[in-house]
A and B are shown apart, each in its own frame.
Chain A
């Protein structure tokens, strides 16, 4: 009997590991909303302009219940995500505000960086990493993770990336967090997972965030 339980335990642990293996582009999380009250997103500092934003209104800045997983290698899996943006004017980036949240495991911190583009993915590091601590709790809205940069020049019409990752070792490398999707604006599709019944999923899964700075 005990052997059977231990075998079941082993199998279950193996299955858990499979959830985190390398087939996936990125793992989608669907946290339950914890607070009916949406805390408005922090106001942008005076003097900074929005260079890029896909955030919604202050009290509906991003989706509460859909997110990509962000995880450091010492959490058991590695999942880093990057959001592209293309400025319409020559600008200087000085602040990045993204919908990153903490899932309650590992160090409560994430690194945000700016990258140039290299064939449609992040290329050369331009600025950062800036370590952001005390992320908002998963299942809440609409506090943002805010990273301040020394002003970095960017060029109109060129694609850049905001990347969220962790150190590969040491403090922060065990983070389990998430980057919430944009607020729901698109059509739904549906999925029945494990026979639990149909659930809706938005079709637009872009990570939510904004890039602020000065023009030029």
Chain B
């Protein structure tokens, strides 16, 4: 009889391992909006050009229900996310602004710039820059802003903004959300009580600023 619960236990633990592999990605987060007032995003430094953005209009910059972003010492375990961008001109990146929000743990994340390797982040080009005091989950429209020493990028090449945490120590217990891009592709979800609207555009929201060239 004792073998049965132990077998269930091992099966469950095995399944947990599978959750950490390719079988399932964490779900989209949806919480009630904490504030009906949309706080305008931080003003971009003068003289910087938008190299890439998928943000929406001012006051409606991004959509809720983004993806979990969490450090390995958070309750959810390690989930890191990266947003791709391709500059149209040779440029220098000096500012990255992303819709990452805070739920629990140390209120900080690391933002970095990577080159591309087969469609995923490859070599670290700049960072990590630690961003603290992120806006609370399900508010709008403050951004997590990281200033970089100007980093050269080439027109037509894909790069990545990576949001992650340290693997240990301060920040490794961060738990939050990277909200979704401003474009809405409607669909609907019902979790047993009523239908609510979602967006099927699941690109992480953010922008990259700098100078050209």
Contact B8 A30 (CB under 8 A): no
Query: Bound complex: CA of A26 vs CA of B30, how far in Å?
Result: 9
Consensus secondary structure, chain B interface: mixed
- B190 an interface residue at 8 Å Cβ cutoff? yes
A68: chain B residues within 8 A (beta carbon) = 189
A82: chain B residues within 8 A (beta carbon) = 187-190, 195
A165: chain B residues within 8 A (beta carbon) = 190
Contact B9 A32 (CB under 8 A): no
Q: Which of B15-23, B41-49, B143-151 lies at the interface with chain A?
A: B15-23
Contact A206 B79 (CB under 8 A): no
Contact B9 A6 (CB under 8 A): yes
A63: min CB distance to chain B, Å: 12
Contact A188 B84 (CB under 8 A): yes
A205: chain B residues within 8 A (beta carbon) = 185, 187, 200-202
- B209 an interface residue at 8 Å Cβ cutoff? no
Contact B16 A15 (CB under 8 A): yes
Contact A195 B78 (CB under 8 A): yes
Query: Bound complex: CA of A126 vs CA of B72, how far in Å?
Result: 47
- B168 an interface residue at 8 Å Cβ cutoff? no
Contact A122 B188 (CB under 8 A): yes
- B124 an interface residue at 8 Å Cβ cutoff? no
Query: Bound complex: CA of A73 vs CA of B193, how far in Å?
Result: 11
A-B pairs under 8 A by CB, number: 189
Query: Bound complex: CA of A204 vs CA of B6, how far in Å?
Result: 41
CB < 8 Å neighbour of A191 from B5, B12, B30, B80: B80
Q: Looking across the interface, which residue of chain A has its beta carbon closest to that of B188?
A: A82
- A156 an interface residue at 8 Å Cβ cutoff? no
Chain A, range 102-141, C-beta contacts under 8 Å to B: 120-122
CB < 8 Å neighbour of A193 from B78, B167, B189: B78
Q: Looking across the interface, which residue of chain B has its beta carbon closest to that of A80?
A: B190
Query: Bound complex: CA of A20 vs CA of B6, how far in Å?
Result: 23
- B129 an interface residue at 8 Å Cβ cutoff? no
Chain B, range 72-125, C-beta contacts under 8 Å to A: 72, 75-84, 119-121
Task: Pick the most buried of A24, A83, A84: most chain B CB atoms within 10 A of its CB.
Answer: A24
Task: Pick the most buried of A6, A79, A192, A207: most chain B CB atoms within 10 A of its CB.
Answer: A192
Known A5-B9, A32-B22, A200-B119; judge A24-B190 contact (CB<8 A).
no
Binding site for A on B (CB under 8 A): 2, 5-6, 8-9, 12-13, 15-16, 19-31, 65, 67, 72, 75-84, 119-121, 160, 164, 167, 181, 185-192, 194-198, 200-204
Interface CB pairs A-B, < 8 A, 28: A12-B12, A18-B75, A23-B29, A25-B30, A25-B196, A27-B24, A27-B27, A27-B28, A32-B22, A32-B23, A81-B187, A81-B188, A82-B195, A120-B188, A121-B188, A181-B200, A189-B202, A190-B121, A191-B81, A192-B80, A193-B79, A194-B21, A194-B78, A200-B119, A200-B120, A201-B202, A203-B181, A206-B185
Q: Which 9 A-B pairs have the closest CB atoms?
A: A194-B20, A24-B27, A9-B9, A198-B120, A78-B192, A203-B203, A121-B195, A80-B190, A82-B188
